[in-house]
Amino acid sequence: MQTKLNISKHYLLFLFTFIMLIKFFIVRMMIFEQTSFFLTLIVELSYLLIIFGAIEFIQSDRIKKILYVTVNLILTILLLGVVIYYNYYGYIVTLNALTLLDQVGTIKDSVFSLFKPIYLILFVDFIVMLVYVIIRKKKSIPEAKKNYVLITIFLLIGLVGTAINLYIQKDAEIANSVVAAEKQGILNYEILAVLNNVANNNKTMTSAEIEKLPKTIQDLKGITPLSEDQLKWHGIAENKNIIAIQLEAFQDFPIHLEVDGQEVTPFLNDLIEESLYFNNIFQQIGPGNTSDAEFLFNTSLYPSAWEASSESFGNRVIPSFPKLLKEQGYATSTAHANDVKFWNRINLYPALGFDKFYHGEFFGNEDVIGIGPSDEVLYAKVLPELKALHEDNQKFYAQFVSLSSHHPFKIPETKNLLPLPEKYQGSIVGDYLQAIHYTDQTLQQFVNVLKEEGMWEDTILVLYGDHFGLQPNGLTETDFPLLKELVGRDYSYLDQFNIPLIITVGDQAITEVNETIGSQIDIMPTVANLLGLSLEDYIHFGQDLVNYPDNLFGIRYYMPFGSFLNNEISFKPLEGFDDGQALDIHTAKTVEDFLQYEEDYDRVLKLMNLSDRYMNSLPVR
């Protein structure tokens, strides 16, 4: 039988390329509000031609069809992950972060709450394909030869287009991930992110550079070290037990907040009266979220820019707060009621040098709220362990990672909820306030037991938020007026990233509200001063906020690369410095003339680069 040479044999190439272009167009409309299909064609087509063109060379039609559907599914899931992540975090997630999808089961309630029915449009083609398979009637199709010339041309077009795109964009430094993905194309952005991550991981330091690093950091931050006798409150908590509690999704604005005459955090409001309270502290977490906050507190180093620090550095020998304290005779432990494999903490905790870590199995399944046992269970289970150490006169450092106020902030009604006006019922803001109020209650119970057991006066308690709870992209239209009323202005990223830091020395009533601008990278050096713990030979990028109030630090991932805060402004670039945006750090009002701060922008980029290179230089465990 004579065979025909035509392009109909390759209809799947055209069909699936068109389907994926439509999906990319839909996602680009959702994220970038872009309505140009032609631009989608320009920036997204080349990779699709390479992928589907390669599939066309496969001889077996059955295998080819399976691969088309599989690749379609993989790319669709990628797009779904990108749009969900963006719609909550405001960031274009990278493939490095998406490799942690196996953890979705742990936070499924949070993820499901972010899913919108409109996202199902990305899966319409699968329904059509299923219906077609069910109702189609098999019929004989004349055999047609594959047009390898045509396939090769498509493949070459894809390769050339991709090569040109990568070449043009490889050195482009676009600070904002959303702008980068819009201009480069989503797939190109993902590939460049992987390449940049690999390149960044290969940047290390020589031993001579590491030796000079403390002085280099001080010079970049403009710090002139003070002598010990010049340091305020140096050593007032020397040899005390240390309890650090990292508060899940705890922002600063609920502190001292009253709703309809009801205090949201009555216990913390009272505790602050005998504490050192920092009200201008900002989160610096990266893709690792809560685990990055743990890393920041225990190292005073910048977290990884591209993936969770626990993934990037969990196999390293990391200088840390627990290791410094062990040299002073402290026993060290950390406690989190979730599975220790979540965020690779099973490797992070040994890398940080903790003697013990209490996790999921230790706490069981009692009184579960959201993704794990309640904070009440967390404190109650670990406290006897600490009491035993205290009775043996063994100094300890114990870190708790609270959990119950995790998104989506659903606290059972049996937990003595905060009476809220009707307008808060069913709102995300209302649920968040309830979660914060519950956190406050459990802290009060915990501190009361410390006092009853005679442990309070021998303790320095450190409380700090790990990251934001209320993300603008995750709010509804009814939430914004509520937030504006609570915050007293339009809710901005300054309100979103502002977390509390409260330090209480049990036997000393320090009453001070410190308004110094600081970040999570500064917490450990601040606590070290109160303990009288020298950091002279310890490489750190933070500073003691009590004695060094002039600050400069960077935030990345949840803000564009090069974003920084100093004592006057917060700044975030768009593509670079010149097209960036500055806000007054105290009023959140736009600062039009920010050119004088370009040196701070350059210094922050250098500081974060130094931190990355230093971390990459640490030996593997």
The three-state secondary structure class of 584 is strand
Q: Pinpoint the alpha helices (H) of 247-344.
A: 266-272, 289-299, 309-313, 321-326
H-type helices in 33-99, by residue range?
37-56, 61-89, 95-98
Q: Which residues, in sequence order, are CB contacts of 616 under 8 Å at separation 6+?
A: 200, 201, 202, 203, 204, 205
Task: For strands 262-263 and 276-282, give the pairing.
Answer: unpaired
- The two tokens of residue 357 are 């870590």
Sequence length of the chain is: 621
599 is in an annotated binding site: no
437 marked as part of a ligand binding site: no
106 is in an annotated binding site: no
Nearest to 524 by CA among 310, 350, 325: 325
Nearest to 350 by CA among 363, 359, 337: 359
Give the span between the Cα atoms of 208 and 189, in whole angstroms. 35
Contacts for 414 with CB less than 8 Å, ≥ 6 apart? none
The amino acid present at 224, given as its one-letter code, is: T
Question: Chain centroid to CA 49: how far?
Answer: 34
Task: Report the candidate in 178, 166, 169 with the shortest Cα–Cα distance to residue 31.
Answer: 178
Which listed residue (17, 290, 504, 516) is catalytic?
290
Select from 211, 219, 173 the least CA-distant residue to 193: 173
**256 in a known ligand binding site:** no
Structure tokens at 566: 């100093």
CA distance 560 to 175: 5
Let me know if 478 is a catalytic residue.
no
Comparing CA positions, the residue from 348, 341, 375, 381 lying closest to residue 362 is 381
CB atoms within 10 A of CB 62: 8
Residue 466 among known ligand-binding residues:
yes
3-state class (DSSP) for residue 567? coil
On whether the CB atoms of residues 439 and 417 are closer than 8 A, the answer is no
Structure tokens at 577: 């410095």
* 500 in Cβ contact with 250 (< 8 Å): yes
Residues in binding site: 248, 290, 406, 466-467
Residues in binding site for Mn(2+): 248, 290, 466-467
Which residues are tagged catalytic? 290
Residues in binding site for substrate: 406
